[in-house]
Amino acid sequence: MENLQAMLQSSTPVLIDFFATWCGPCQMVPPILKEVKDKLGEQLRIVKIDIDKNPQLAAQWQISSVPTLLLFRDGKPVWRQSGVVPAHQLVPLLESHI
């Protein structure tokens, strides 16, 4: 995950989707993120992290429920949200931080 560290330090904001394969609501997130990516394009990178395969990252950022979205800008977390957020609400929230 050292490439993740480099990605977080870049000037492009990074949205991390923390999810688990057993999580029902997590299945609703990918189409929402696709819509976000279609609207925001290169302004934002989106990364998916499975908390069961990366427990150290989940612990590092205190992810206690999934899905959780965590937005990083210049290597620092600037916004987080647990639960499913519809794309029409998520896009303006992200735009205010990027």
Catalytically annotated residue among 16, 26, 49, 71: 26
Give yes or no: 26 in active site. Answer: yes
Measured CA to CA, the distance from residue 60 to residue 66 in angstroms comes to 15
Give yes or no: 51 in active site. Answer: no
Measured CA to CA, the distance from residue 24 to residue 47 in angstroms comes to 19
Catalytically annotated residue among 7, 20, 23, 47: 23
* Catalytic residue IDs: 23, 26
